[in-house]
Amino acid sequence: MVAKAWADPDYRAWLLRDANSAIASVGYAGRQGEYIVVLENTPRRHNLVVCTLCSCYPWPVLGLPPVWYKSAPYRSRAVADPRGVLRDFGVELPADTEIRVWDSTAEVRYLVLPMQPEGSESWNEEALAELVTRDSMIGTGLPKRPGERI
Partner 1 sequence: MTEGAHDMGGARGFGKVTPEANEPVFHAEWERRAFALTLAMATPGGWNIDMSRAAIPTPAKPTISTGSLHWNNWWRKKA
Binding site for partner 1 (CB under 8 A): 31, 50, 52-55, 63-64, 66-68, 70-80, 85, 88-89, 103, 106, 135, 140
Between β-strands 98-103 and 108-113, what pairing exists: parallel, antiparallel or unpaired? unpaired
Alpha-carbon span 142 to 59, nearest angstrom: 20
Calculate the dihedral angle through the C-alpha atoms of 138, 141, 143, 148, rounding to the nearest 10 degrees: -150
Least distance CB 79 / partner 1 (angstroms)? 4
25 is catalytic: no
DSSP tag of 8 = -
Is residue 54 part of the annotated active site? The answer reads yes
Annotation says 55 is catalytic: yes
**Residue 51: active-site member:** yes
In this complex, which beta carbon is closest to partner 1, that of residue 50 or of residue 142?
50
Residues that are catalytic: 51, 54-56
